[in-house]
Amino acid sequence: MWGKNKLREILEEGRVAVGSCVYSSSPALVELMGYCGLDFCRIDNEHSWRRDESAENIIRAATISGIVPLLRIDRDDPNVVRKAMEIGAGGIIVPHVLTAGEVEDVLRMAKFPPRGERGIGTLCFSGRWGTASVTDWIR
């Protein structure tokens, strides 16, 4: 996501965030959710198949309308964490994480060194296709 994460700000201020979940692959539906004033949408990618451009298009629609896209991903593919962040997810939901060690594994995939193992590559939507400064992108 570009700019500040509206959902993070709402939660840090102790306010209530309003959102919904979406199972549809329709970017228009997510865009409409943003225009209707929702703060976030949970995009289910655990039980639906979005290993193509559809997840990126849905997240792009969320960005356009100002809603924070939270992408629920499969737990058993650590590369999906990085990919979700690169296509612009404002947050990820990893189901069935039960231990502190499993949380640390997810964080390692989502964070840049020294906290994590995520690689630097701004040639993606969240990096504005290489036009964002690396410092801004990491932030």
The Cα 80–Cα 113 span in angstroms is 18
Give per-residue pLDDT as tens, 84-127: 988 999 999 999 999 999 999 999 998 988 889 888 888 888 88
Q: Name the residue with tokens 């499993």.
A: 102
Reply yes or no on whether the pLDDT at 18 is more than 70: yes
Residue with tokens 């629920």: 72
Phi/psi for 27 (5° steps) reads -60, -35
Contact (CB, 8 A) for 71 and 43: yes
Contacts 24+ apart (CB under 8 A), 33-36: 33/62, 33/65, 33/67, 34/61, 34/62, 34/64, 34/65, 34/66, 34/67, 35/65
DSSP 117: -
pLDDT of 2 higher than 70: no
pTM of the predicted protein model: 0.86
Query: Tell me: the pLDDT tens digits for 37-81?
Result: 999 999 998 887 667 788 899 999 999 999 999 999 887 777 888
Whole-number pLDDT of residue 4: 80
Domains and CATH numbers, the chain: 6-138 (3.20.20.60)
Q: How confident is the model at residue 1 (pLDDT cuts 50, 70, 90)?
A: low
